[in-house]
Every structure is written in structure tokens, then in C-alpha cells.
Structure 1
């Protein structure tokens, strides 16, 4: 039985193509690189599988493209279960320029879910999740899903011991902030909306984490800061995780966040303390951005990079806020003893 259940409310079939360079006139002759199932939770399950773990990917699926999504997951060997919906599963496109290294991710909104389909999804998730130690809800949601869907799901899961990890955005995130979960991950856009200023460094990321912890939204928070790395926080301290210097130029950040969450949750399920798991997640994200399109890391690359993650701990004061003054700082080496909860 896998330890991790992932939920993808709005999956995709990701087609990745390469061109020398995009032009605005004539035809862009492209080379097909990959066709694979995608969407936040599916990508997380793929990352867990890549690391040697097992996860069950619970996802919606509809019509011909939903059937193709199932076939792609079966061919990849990922354990999954489909929640049937009427609308077509969406298709997304990644165009990579080989001359510049730039990548363009084009993602449609997806088919609209009816109220009955939303309730069917809720029932299916709750029925499955109560048997798993970890539930990961990741990625965008389809049109028609009520704004408090994730919040209601968290409330229905309260009687169970399942640890909930959220990587969500927009109204779904705002509605869930007063329903405590185990861990919330913020990207820079969502964190900026919460604190009202750009997330341009570790201090701003600490402020976003303080905001979540102050609301009681989560026991653990992690906010990513692009190429700098991330800040992981609990009620005791902030831990600034500096990403390892990349051995190659970055190529695509399409699955960096999913890689972080997949690696982090895998390590938690393996028994690591949260700080150690977050360090591994930062290394996984760094390994993924070296690859084109929606490809995710190889484990050997993550294992090589994790020793280069540097952690600086800043102890939080009582009643810490976004303007808190750190009481003390200490450098911690990755090779030290177990740290964090």
C-alpha cells in the first residue's frame, strides 16, 4: 500500500516540442520530444516513483483525452485511479527554444466541472485518503469547482490521521487558510499576494511563512524563492535553504515546484524530519530545472546536489510577524545531525 495519495483535479496531457527559435511569420518546424500525463498531483506521483517510492495518483478524466491520459500513466507504470467526468481532459504544450534555452508553457483552463461531478470528486478523495498517511493536493483546479472545495475537503478529513500537504493557489488557497493542515507550499506569486510585496529574497519569504503560521493555516510552511532556493518554517524557526549552484544553465521550471513537493513528501514518508525532507526537495527542484519541458529529475542528480544545499536557521520570536527581529542565527551544515521536527 503506498504511503502517499496525490490528487489532480485538472490533469493534462503535456506535449513538449523543440524548435531552434520561435518566429512570428511562417511555420515553426518542431521536433516532438515527449508526450506524457501531467498536472500537479500526477507530477508529484511521478517524482515519488522516480525516487523509488510508490504513490497513488487520483485524478479526474473525461472522454477520449481522458482515455489517452490513462494509457500514458499505465505505460509509465504509475499507480493511478480515475474519477470520471464528462468534459475532455485538457492538453497543454511546452515549446523549447534550443538556441536560447527558453521554454514556453501554454496551458488551457480545462473543462468545467458540474456541481455533481465536484461532489463525486470530494467523496472519492475522502474515501481513498483516510487510508493514506499523506495526502498531497497539488496543481490548478478546473472551472466550476467551488472556491472552498479544498477547505471543505480538509474539514472532512479531520477525523483521520492523514497529513495533508497543499500546493494550491488562488481562491482555493485563500479559503483554506483558517483550516490547519500539515504543510503548505507557496510559490512566489501566491506568497506575494499574501504579504502584498514581491518575494525577492529570503526575508520576504520568511514574512509569507510568518503570515501562514500566524493564521494557524499549517504546522509547516515552505515558500520558494526561485533560483535562490526556499524558506522552510515551523513554529520555532525559519530555515533558509540556499539552492545548490547549477552545473548547467536552467532550461525549464515547469515542474520544479512539483519536484520539490514530490521529493519532500517522499522523504517524510520515509521517516525524515521535515527540515531534512525540505532540503532534499530543494535539491530535487534544482535538478529538474536543468531539464527541458516537463521532464523531472533523475535521482542520481538529486543525490549529488543535496549535499550542496546550505541551511541558515533564524529562530522566530514569540508572536513573530513579517516585521520580526531574529533572536539569533546559526549556520547548519547538511551533514549535521537530524534537525527540525
Structure 2
């Protein structure tokens, strides 16, 4: 059953994944450069930014529909995995083969390695079909989330055009995109734009190591166009949320266990932020939930995502300091 409806339920969220994956998660004791590395298959599941967001929204008790591309045999496998999981989703058929990705968890070190190919090249016809479908479906939802990498061949203003048309229909857009898509879209009326450290560093020309660095990245985004709220994450420190009037430094909880994998941390943050906004929280409170959700996810291996109880426990340890924008 679809989550969206013409009356726009306050919890209706549409997430978009143009470059999904079938994530194969393996576990080894230690990786060696010679011979065979014997592995245990931990999980095989559908992945990609928007699919992970929809999964996380469900973990929090919300409702999200995942709209994603799907091509050829691996695309069929992706559809089947999502059906078996019970995730509400809609496919956009493409000519190319949906990609597979590997996550290798090394138990001795506790590190995880995420190996991701670029994905299928989208033809012009594929791209036009994707854009038309996103816009047609988005108008039945309160929030549109576009996140994850873009496949080769997608026009550089895809996200900008989607934002322009969705917001004209009264939909709030939450974005987590990179590269050319990011540079085009920050001039559009995005409700929330999230940057990771890599993209933020590319914008301001220096590493993102402190809250001050994150504030500078947010300032760049807010001054560039019509973005209402900017979030830049700072790894284990947490994140900075900047609005039109203030900066909010959201300090992450101190974890009692070493992190296992950050593969889905950003998606967890975006999901929690969007879900809490959809149920009526303000942006600051929503960002606090997002930081707690990301912290809960990095404690888990591979592409596992948080449990809601862990998010609630960590939320009590999240602290926010604010200052007025100059």
C-alpha cells in the first residue's frame, strides 16, 4: 500500500534513489592480499540513499515510499528484495543494469569497507522518464527526499528542476546530493540541504574538522541561493544546522563502543530529520534526532541501520549550542 495520498498525510514522505544497489554484506576475520579471503554472507538487501531513508523512516514508526530506478536482472532482484522486506516502493524501469555493491566487515579490526561501482548510464529517455515520474508522484506527498549518488548520464540540473517543480506544488524538499547536482540545486528553494564533510570541503576549499568549518560551509550554501536550512555533518563531533537567523551546533553523544561502519550514517540522519519534521518538530529538534540516529547507526556493521530504542537513548546525550548569524 502506498504511503502517499492526495490529502497529504503529515507523515507522507517520498524518497528518490536514481542509482540504487543490491548491497551484499560480507564478514571476514581479516583481509589478506594473497590467496582467498573466506567470507560469511551477513545480508543481501536493497540499498542506495533513498531506499535507506525509507527503511529508516519505517524504523522510527513513520511511513515513506521509496521511488527508485530498476534495470535488468539485478533490478528484478532489487525489486524482489524490497518486496520481501515489506518496504513500500515504486520502480522506474531503465535500460541499464542496476548495480551491485559490496560491504566487507573485518571483524579483527572492526573496520568496514564499502565498495561501490558507478552504476548504469542513464539514457536521455531514462532521465526524462525519471524526472517526470518524480514530479508526478511528489505532489501526493508532503516531503520529497532526494539523496544518494547520481548515475552517469543524468543531466546536471536534474535535482534543480525536480526541486523547482515540487516546491511549486507545495512540497518541501530535503536534499543530500553532491557535485554538479549540488552546485545547481543550492540556488533553488530547498527546505533542507545536507552536506557531508567531503562535499562541504569542496565548497569552501578546506577540510571540515570543526563546527566553525561546518558553519562556513552552511554560510556558503545559504548565501548562494534560496536554501532555507543547511546541515553540515562533522563526523563524530555531530553537525551544524544553520537557518536564516542562527547557527546551531548539535554535539553528538559520546559513544561507549567504537564505531563499526558509517555506510548508512548520512541516510539515517536525513531520515530522522525528515520524519521528525513531518510529525511537527522544528528543525533544531529534528536535527538532534538526526545526529542521534547517525550515532546509533555507526555502531552497527555493514549497511545495518539503527533501532529506534537506541536513537531515543542517545538523544538524551545530544546537546545543542546556538548563536545568531551575523
Report the TM range for the smaller structure's normalisation.
over 0.9
* Counterpart selection for 1:42 from 51, 54, 71: 51
Mapping of 1:134-213 within 5 angstroms?
134-213=143-222
Aligned partners of 1:104 and 1:157: how far apart in 2? 36
* Counterpart selection for 1:32 from 28, 41, 50: 41
Give the deviation of 1:247 after TM superposition. 2.2
Aligned partners of 1:161 and 1:204: how far apart in 2? 33
| Per-residue CA distance 1:148-199 (angstroms, 9 max, x = gap) | 1111112222421100000000111011121121010000000001111110
Instruction: Please state if 1:218 is matched with 2:221.
Output: no
Mapping of 1:1-341 within 5 angstroms?
1-2=3-4, 3-317=12-326
Give the deviation of 1:216 after TM superposition. 2.3
Aligned partners of 1:104 and 1:41: how far apart in 2? 21
In the alignment, is the contact (CA less than 8 A) between 1:59 and 1:82 conserved in 2? yes
Aligned partners of 1:209 and 1:132: how far apart in 2? 27
Aligned partners of 1:283 and 1:247: how far apart in 2? 14
With normalisation by structure 1, the TM-score equals 0.92
Unaligned runs of at least 5 residues, structure 1: 318-341
Give the deviation of 1:262 after TM superposition. 0.4
In the alignment, is the contact (CA less than 8 A) between 1:7 and 1:138 conserved in 2? yes
SS at match of 1:70: helix
| Per-residue CA distance 1:53-87 (angstroms, 9 max, x = gap) | 11000000011111110111111111000000011
Aligned partners of 1:313 and 1:216: how far apart in 2? 23
SS at match of 2:191: strand
Question: For this pair of structures, how many residues does the alignment match?
Answer: 317
Aligned partners of 1:129 and 1:158: how far apart in 2? 9
Match of 2:8 in 1: none
Aligned partners of 2:222 and 2:60: how far apart in 1? 30
| Per-residue CA distance 1:243-276 (angstroms, 9 max, x = gap) | 0011211000000000000011111111111100
With normalisation by structure 2, the TM-score equals 0.96
Give the deviation of 1:131 after TM superposition. 1.1
Aligned partners of 1:277 and 1:247: how far apart in 2? 23
In the alignment, is the contact (CA less than 8 A) between 1:176 and 1:217 conserved in 2? no
After TM superposition, the structure 1 stretch with the greater mean CA deviation from structure 2, 169-178 or 288-297, is 169-178
Aligned partners of 2:288 and 2:219: how far apart in 1? 19
Aligned partners of 1:270 and 1:291: how far apart in 2? 27
Aligned partners of 2:77 and 2:288: how far apart in 1? 35
| Per-residue CA distance 1:275-331 (angstroms, 9 max, x = gap) | 0000000000000000000000000000000010010111111xxxxxxxxxxxxxx
Aligned partners of 1:51 and 1:177: how far apart in 2? 29
